[in-house]
Amino acid sequence: MDAMPAVHPRPGLPTRVSVYEVGPRDGLQAEKAVVPLPVKLELINRLGEAGLEVIEATSFVSPRWIPQLADADDLMAKLERRPGVRYPVLVPNQQGFERAMAAGADELAIFVSATETFAQQNLGTTLDGAIDMAAPVVAASRARGIPVRGYVSMCFGDPWEGRVDPGRPAEVAARITELGCSTISLGDTIGVATAGQVVTVLDQVEAAGVPRNRIALHLHDTYGQALANVLAGLEAGITEFDSSAGGLGGCPYAKSATGNLATEDLIWMLDGLGIETGVDLTALVRTSRWLAGELGRPSPSRVVMALGI
């Protein structure tokens, strides 16, 4: 069996998609054990070699909150930057911003919530408080000409609140776009969304003032829906999708929130649709199998499991 599906494009879909790799940050922050820095550096290096053009490298969150990423400064200092690859980092607040700047980061991401309860449980603040905390980071970044991505979590469902009205992520996405975020990543943090809801939320976010070409989708596979939702997103004109090599990670704070969409499963579909990503699937699968060995457990990616590469 080829390590690539048969290619059958569908009319009306984008011909090129940007895959935003979150494994080294969103994936590894969910690991119970702290992954050694050399392994992280090798992972990022191999992901770049496999053709990923955007790799979220780490987070400048307080080590008290996420000890797994306490080595963020060191990681950025030792990172071998590959030409043509972007290495954004997550910053939760002004202190994180200063650390990120000192470490030489040239692209950032901030994090807010579409729901009140998740803001309180995850960020220890309110929905408004999270936006207020992000505002000076976005302003300071813009002053330096540094692009900032804005993550909005719990756009489709919330572990405490249940269903989320699509007006909620729309309002929050519009507010952080006004602050100056260049891209808005809409997160299905607990993986409950279905394909019609994706379209509804995208429509409302656009109607609230966020241009569709600045919207990315961050989908989890908790209920098996991630790739169907990617397809719905592609049909709705979205061209940026977040995923995690080997399906690493999930949200450490949300119940049942296992299952970042695996980059391999995403690439299998995009390859099959003839949508260009620049990613070499075989190299990526080899990377995830190597990392699974380092972590001591198999990758949950269906493609990694299926391909005995």
Q: Which residues are catalytic?
A: 251
Strand partners, 106: none
Closest Cα to residue 153, out of 193, 199, 185?
A: 185
Residue closer to its own copies by CB (options 6, 33) is: 6
Evaluate whether 186 touches 219 at the Cβ level (below 8 Å): no
Q: Which tokens hold the place of 32? A: 């119970």
Q: How far is CA 266 from CA 60, 139, 200, 254, 256, in A?
A: 28, 34, 22, 23, 21
Residue closer to its own copies by CB (options 295, 303) is: 303
Task: Tell me the closest approach of the beta carbon of residue 147 to its own copies, in angstroms.
Answer: 30
Gap between the Cα atoms of 202 and 211, Å rounded: 10
Task: Tell me the closest approach of the beta carbon of residue 302 to its own copies, in angstroms.
Answer: 4
Task: Tell me the closest approach of the beta carbon of residue 254 to its own copies, in angstroms.
Answer: 10
Residue closer to its own copies by CB (options 32, 255) is: 255
Task: Tell me the closest approach of the beta carbon of residue 198 to its own copies, in angstroms.
Answer: 8
Residue closer to its own copies by CB (options 7, 37) is: 7
Gap between the Cα atoms of 57 and 77, Å rounded: 12
Q: Which tokens hold the place of 61? A: 């969150």
Site residues, its own copies (CB under 8 A): 1-2, 5-10, 156-157, 159, 162-164, 190-197, 199-200, 221-225, 227-228, 230-232, 255-256, 258-259, 262, 265, 268-269, 271-274, 301-303, 306, 308
Evaluate whether 235 touches 13 at the Cβ level (below 8 Å): yes
Gap between the Cα atoms of 25 and 35, Å rounded: 11
């390859």: which residue's tokens?
A: 271
